[in-house]
Amino acid sequence: MGLSASQARLLTITARKSDCEYESMRLSHQKIALSRDMDVISAEYQDAINQTNLMYDFYGNNTQANPLTYGLLMSPSALNDYIPTTITDKSGRVVLNPALARAAKAAGIPQEGMDGLPSSEMRNAFIDGLVANDVITDIQGENIKKTTYNQMAGVGSEDLVNVNTAECSYTDLKKMLESVTFDLTDIVSSHSYSGGQGCVFELWESQRAEDGTITGYQKCADVPDNISLGDILNGNYVLRGSADHQGDEGNREFKSWELLVDMVGSSTFWDNMFEGVENLLDTGDEYTQAALEYAKNKILDSVELLGQRDDSGGGNVDYSNFAFWKQLKGHLIGNNSNKSILENVDKNVNNYVGIVYIENSARENEGKYNDGYGLNISYMAQAYLTYFAEYMQGISNSDYNVEQLREQCNFVDDMFTFEYVTDVDTSGDNLLVAGFYDALFNQICLNGWTENENIDDREYLEEMLKSGAMYMSTMSDDGYYYQGSYSTNTYIKEVTDETAVAQAEAKYNREKQKINAKENIIDMKMKNLDTEISALTTEYDTVKSVIDKNIEKTFKRYDA
């Protein structure tokens, strides 16, 4: 090889070797970058393993645990027991979403809060703002405004429920109860049982003279399905019934007294009467509720069947809950017995508060048929309200009393003042919803507020709570709200985000495979480059040796 050719080849080898070394270095840097990518992915996976979600579990049994959201805390529901838990900033101001913030602005609540408690007018303006911004419905807004604003809700009072009440006399109450009507057809009709046994009930109204004495009775033919409680309280209505049996006496399913008493005692009339009165008088006060329960139980004790039916026909009759009981002998069916028995019912039913029972004991065995039953339901309705008044005044100190003998009773009158609920829909959760927004309104007014358009985003809310940028204010047992960390709230649980972990694991495995594949390709390229560099180095040394020998020969030639 000539010297010039060798030098050209040497330069080519040197250039190629430099290219290979550069490419090897570049691939080495790529491998280092892949290593950094692997570190990032590993860190992300580790973060996901440590990632948690905040869950709201009011009942504490995981049956209704829900992801913590702003709406869950700030909207009335059974999940928060209709008690708001406010999100607050470091200054204690209530954090409001845009809709609630607009309602606060509409009510004129300053963002820095107020020095004193707000007025009912401002509260109603806040409710109007909630309606205008579709936080609550028009009907909910009207129902809330009809309740009395609870100025102490969440400010020293745990009882958030408040209602609008007014006072009335007994006469006025009877007028209100004219809207409570009854269908008495489950009593006032004929009832048949096996073996020909049955009973017949009728509704009668006593006719009175000007001095109050009863002059006779008139059967109510058309009113059993529409008589009102007001009518019953103002009138003198009597249930009048008798047992009957047309078949073999030994085949009777019930004893007559069991059949008659149970038919009236199990009627829907009583529950309807209690419900009608409770809808007016139940103001939510525990003492009032206890008085209603006391009155209800006293009435039921005097009209319901005592003990269980005895189908065998034996045993002694329990007359302990009868106001009046009498035996008549020798008055059988076909011997004008029905008239004689019911005449005795009519004679006594207006003298007693409770069951008047006339037993036909013409036969020696128990379970006589053709017995007579009477109950003055006007007395029972008046007694029910009297028991209520008696409890409210204090049973031992009351001006009123109920005895079995009517002339010994002192029924409630206009000297007693009833407190009743005004035109508020107390059904469902209406009162609870009103209490919820009263408590929320009070917190906004007293502590101030700030608007945050991102607060409805669950992830944002969690981030703010976990970082300590926001807090939760919860009502304590003393009726006041206290600010604290989410970690101290008994209803909040921090749980591993299983979904995020699964997603991160899948991403980790996917990215790891990609990086490994890239590393394998780089390793193969670098191995090939190392082989080529080694071959170029060998060739470089050979060509260099040739050049050196040619130069040596040239110098020797000229030296000679």
Last residue of a domain, one of 450, 468, 496: 496
Same domain, 9 and 106: no
Q: Are 450 and 469 within 8 A, CB to CB?
A: no
Q: Are 324 and 351 within 8 A, CB to CB?
A: yes
Q: Dump strand ranges (E) for 47-140.
A: 52-56, 66-67, 86-88, 94-96
Work out how many domains the chain is built from and give that number: 3
CA distance 323 to 345: 12
Indicate whether 257 belongs to any domain: yes
Last residue of a domain, one of 401, 421, 441: 421
Residuewise pLDDT in 10s, the chain (560 residues):
566 676 677 777 777 777 777 777 887 787 787 778 777 777 776 666 656 777 787 665 566 678 889 999 999 988 888 999 999 999 999 999 999 999 999 999 999 999 877 888 999 999 999 999 999 999 889 888 888 888 888 888 777 766 677 889 999 999 999 988 888 888 887 776 666 677 888 888 877 677 666 676 788 876 667 889 998 998 889 998 888 765 555 555 666 777 888 888 888 899 999 999 998 898 777 899 999 999 999 999 999 876 555 545 445 556 777 888 887 765 444 444 456 788 888 889 989 999 998 887 655 444 456 788 999 999 999 999 999 999 999 999 999 999 999 999 999 999 999 988 876 665 667 778 888 999 999 999 999 999 999 999 998 998 898 888 999 999 988 889 999 988 888 888 876 656 666 776 777 678 778 878 887 887 787 888 778 777 777 877 777 777 767 777 766 666 65
Indicate whether 162 belongs to any domain: no
Indicate whether 161 belongs to any domain: no
Write the CA distances from 175 to 170, 229, 232, 458, integer angstroms: 9, 9, 11, 53
**Alpha-carbon torsion angle 87, 89, 93, 96, nearest 10:** -50
Indicate whether 165 belongs to any domain: no
Residue with structure tokens 């399905």?
225
Q: Are 170 and 416 within 8 A, CB to CB?
A: yes
- Helix %, strand %, coil % for the chain, to 5? 50, 20, 30
CA distance 232 to 479: 44
CA distance 391 to 372: 33
Q: What is the DSSP letter of 148?
A: P
Q: Dump strand ranges (E) for 183-268.
A: 190-192, 197-208, 214-219, 227-228, 237-245
Same domain, 236 and 126: no
**What is the extent of the structural domain holding 27?**
3-50+499-559
Same domain, 504 and 378: no
Longest dimension (CA), the chain: 177
Closest CA to 351 of 308, 396, 404, 301: 404
In sequence order, which ranges of 394-483 are alpha helices (DSSP H)?
Answer: 430-447, 458-467
Same domain, 307 and 320: yes
